[in-house]
Amino acid sequence: MTRPSKGSNLYLTALLCLSAQSHAVGLNDLLERASQLSDKLHSLSTSLTNDLDTHFSPMGKMIMPRPSMCHTSSLQTPNDKDQALKVPEPELLSLVRSLLQSWNDPLLLLSSEAPTLPHPSNAVIYSKTRELQENSHSLNAGLERLMHRMGASSQSLAPQPFRGGDLGNDKNSRLINFHFLLSCFRRDSHKIDSFLKVLRCRAAKLRPELC
């Protein structure tokens, strides 16, 4: 029988160590990392909104679609922390995951449109939208692990469909629709961040008023 080489033994040992480390990460640590990523997403979306506002006319804000037109508006979410505290943890986590996954296609659209956006800071905006995408993907992966750890996989909610194919042809339409999509994401990223922080507090057994 062929004996395993020294190199293969080292590779197997490394895999076993990585597996052990993955299982050793506690629920509180996973929630802490997810909260840090969600906080980064909301911070980035706020910064992007400020960048856009430097070259966005008051008339553009007046004709921008209402928040109720956001593609995720039909997803029923808690209105405040008190309501979020009453939602079972697996259900709240499933809601967070559905909300975040609903932004996969819109974030792709924003990053593809940003380089040619009629805005003097489009290079900075492009860099930040790509960073939004990367952080969103990382948080999605973390939520997958949390779903399995908290037993929420069986009640996973489907993401909300996005039917916007482009931002329009003229300069004003592109700026307005870009700003609108970003404002919708900023609102949803705040919800994601708030709900994850509630889950983190509950997992740490803190008093509700501290969450």
Fold (topology level) of 27-210: Growth Hormone; Chain: A; (1.20.1250)
For 185, what's the count of Cα atoms within 13 Å in the CB-facing half-sphere? 33
d(CA 202, CA 204): 5
Q: What is the dihedral of CA 89, 94, 99, 104, to 10 degrees?
A: 140
What is the residue type of 124? V
172 — pLDDT class (breaks 50, 70, 90): confident
49 or 25: whose pLDDT is higher? 49
Residues 200, 28: contact at Cβ < 8 Å?
Answer: yes
Residues 37, 135: contact at Cβ < 8 Å?
Answer: yes
Q: How high is the pLDDT of residue 25? A: 61
Q: How high is the pLDDT of residue 26? A: 82
Q: How high is the pLDDT of residue 142? A: 94
pLDDT above 70: residue 62:
yes
At 74-104, the pLDDT tens digits run 999 998 888 998 999 989 999 999 999 999 9
pLDDT above 90: residue 193:
yes
Q: How high is the pLDDT of residue 64? A: 81
d(CA 193, CA 201): 12
At 114-168, the pLDDT tens digits run 999 999 999 999 999 999 999 999 999 999 999 888 876 656 788 899 987 788 8
Q: How high is the pLDDT of residue 67? A: 84
What's the whole-number average pLDDT of the chain?
84
14 — pLDDT class (breaks 50, 70, 90): very low
pLDDT above 80: residue 52:
yes
Residues 67, 184: contact at Cβ < 8 Å?
Answer: yes
pLDDT > 70: what percent of the chain? 84
Residue 167: which residues within 8 A CB-CB, separation 6 or more? 109, 113, 173, 174, 177, 178, 181
Beta-strand runs (E) in the chain:
none
Closest of 107, 111, 96 to residue 190, by C-alpha: 96
Phi and psi torsions of 206, nearest 5° = -80, 160
Inter-axis angle of helices 89-101 and 122-150, nearest 10: 150
- Domain boundary assignment for the chain: 27-210
Structure tokens at 52: 């856009």
Closest of 187, 50, 184, 67 to residue 125, by C-alpha: 50
d(CA 187, CA 66): 12
Mean pLDDT, residues 186-199: 95
pLDDT above 90: residue 181:
yes
